[in-house]
Chains A and B, each alone.
Chain A
Amino acid sequence: MIRFEGVKKVYPGNGNTPDILALNDVNLHIRKGEFVFVLGHSGAGKSTFLKLILREEEATEGRVIVNGRDLSTIKQRDIPYLRRGLGVVFQDFRLIPTMTAYENVAFAMRVTNIPERQIKRRVPYVLNLVGLTGKAHSYPAELSGGEQQRVALARALVHSPPIIIADEPTGNIDPELSVEIMELLQAINSVGTTVVVVTHERALARHFNKRTIMIDHGEVVTDARPKRKREVTFK
């Protein structure tokens, strides 16, 4: 699903500022159906990790392979098709302010030329899934932070992508809502979708006991698999 092979990313300086090494020799493999936390402090390289997967940035060295596409050789015109295979939930939601919740979600389907009839069936279903049935015709400005996050999640889910990436999905919402959002992501993962949650909250990763990749100073410092729950046998 997602593979990093010896990936290095350097942001060049501009004469007055030195080059910035954002990621260095990153090797990892996230398989189909996995739920992975990518953990790290601010400036550790998490955003660069995400940008490389979305092909917003290109690796300076090494290869990034997403859904079978090698992003070092991908053509510019194929990038939209790469992104259609990814559902992304951003920390700042990134909803189009001039569109209603329904339109924002439907937009992700429209870009893939899905027939209107199918959109009309699928969007209300997904909005219902994230608990926003009554808010379909509200604009983002009329929704709370948690509701906006759920619209963003619905938009990421609506075209059933094989991979969902959530960037600090709980960063701008209440702790109670955070659990709700994470449970939704778990439910999505339980039907076979690969979920990658990029966060700085260690507690969140600990609470959900999933594979956790920790990045620090641009390098993967730990890649811990979930601990198996101890089996209790009754005599």
Chain B
Amino acid sequence: MANKPYQEALVPGAFKWIAGLALFILLVPIFVVFLAGLNSGDFLTFPPEGLSLRWIKAFFESDSYLPAYLYSLIIALTAMVISLILGTLISLLLVRSAFAGRALLRAVVMSPIMLPGIVIGLSLYLFYISFDIGLARTQAGLVIGHVLVTCPYVIGMVSAALVGFDRSLEEAARSLGASRWETFRKITIPLISPALIAGGVFAFIVSFGQFDVSLFLTPPNNTPLPIALYTSLRYTFEPTAAAAGIFAIFLVVVSMVITAKITNLRRITAANYN
């Protein structure tokens, strides 16, 4: 009988088992929420009593969940756009200029992802009311809070892209007749766009699911989804919350898929350029 040739495994078997287990533990809650949202019973229970779309319908008819969902969407998009612009500018400053206190500035702008969100929310709230600058419990005040925690993701991604950036590409563009702005627009931005897309998606997801920072900053007339879920579950234990959860998960999955498609598409269009 022929012997099987010896082949070193690329990934040890134990690692595969650990990874599989971790993935399972991470995905089970999502699966539970999904089924709970399709429950036909009256209460948020698992396993579901039967499958139905009644709570999905309830989500669309609800006067708290759907507006909260849309409000979160608007806040997340706003926070994402502001984070992208601000984060790119800060990254350029941090990576491309040398000044005293650069390391300190970097630590300061990155600190919101290390601080507990509740502390940021509370400090901002106290700041707004004690200086009475008209931002307490307003949409602008909430967006500022979100940008504080989403911006570091953009800064992290874009800085990494800029550190590895070949400056001679920009110099080549300059010597071919491009101004600083044309060079930035035609060379720098396209080449760091994967980092911009990744940073933007992170910012969006972090803002959309943000509970801690929103807790003290939410305006009275509008509520972001996580806060709305929390508030309503305190009083009623309806599966509508799980149905809203399905749509939240759906949005995250969609944004991930779109990102993957865009980056793939860029590769394809680059190959058939012109």
Partners in one complex: no
Q: Which A residues are within 8 Å of any B CB, using their own CB?
A: none
Q: Which B residues are within 8 Å of any A CB, using their own CB?
A: none
